Amino acid sequence: RLVPSVEEIQAAINGGAVAVLKCSKMIEAWDTVTIPKNVQLILNPNLPPVQGTGSQGTFYDRIAQDREILKVVLLLTGSIQSAKNQCNQYLEQFSEHEWCWKDDIVKAYKDFKAEEPSLDEFESKLKYFVGIENKVEHMEGQHQISALMLQTTSLSKSLRELANKWKESFAAELHK
């Protein structure tokens, strides 16, 4: 599970965009002709205030009409969805071993033993578990996707420990 989830990141970005847009609805648009009086006083208190026509609207009106801003908002939303897809694709490599935490070791051993395996088959099974441990050990502890840094060290460690547990359980049964 990603912390924070991609949905939470998307919600935060959407919330930020909504907050900016709400603020922009309350700000009257101004340029050199329609500068608010309090700003004019700050800029140059010696000049008399300039009265504009007041027909500039709000910054929201300008933002809503600006194609470049709309493109950036769409790209941002799209990039989050793309990052989500890349995260899911990256995490797929761990799901191939989900049987390690989903299956019951005792039942799996009984099923394996019921097939009356040879010593070579036992050795092959143990090597399979060692192979999982080695494969997971060589995975990087972090992986960057866009602006996200996935920290997979604890996931890799847990998967290695589970593979070791399966190996030890099968080996212990072999020595009985």
Assigned token pair, 144: 């960057």
Torsion of the alpha carbons at 27, 33, 37 and 38, rounded to the nearest 10: 60
CA-nearest of 90, 86, 98 to 162 is: 98
Q: Do the beta carbons of residue 109 and residue 129 sit within 8 Å?
A: no
Residues of the chain with pLDDT under 50: 50, 52
pTM given for the model:
0.58
CA-nearest of 149, 155, 144 to 95 is: 155
Q: E strands along the chain, which residues?
A: 142-145, 148-151
- Residue 73 φ/ψ, nearest 5 degrees: -60, -45
Report the SS3 class of residue 97: coil
CA-nearest of 60, 66, 65, 56 to 32 is: 56
First vs last Cα of the chain: how many Å apart?
A: 39
How does DSSP classify residue 31? -
Look at residue 33 in the predicted model and tell me its pLDDT.
59
CA-nearest of 160, 141, 154, 151 to 101 is: 160
Look at residue 162 in the predicted model and tell me its pLDDT.
93
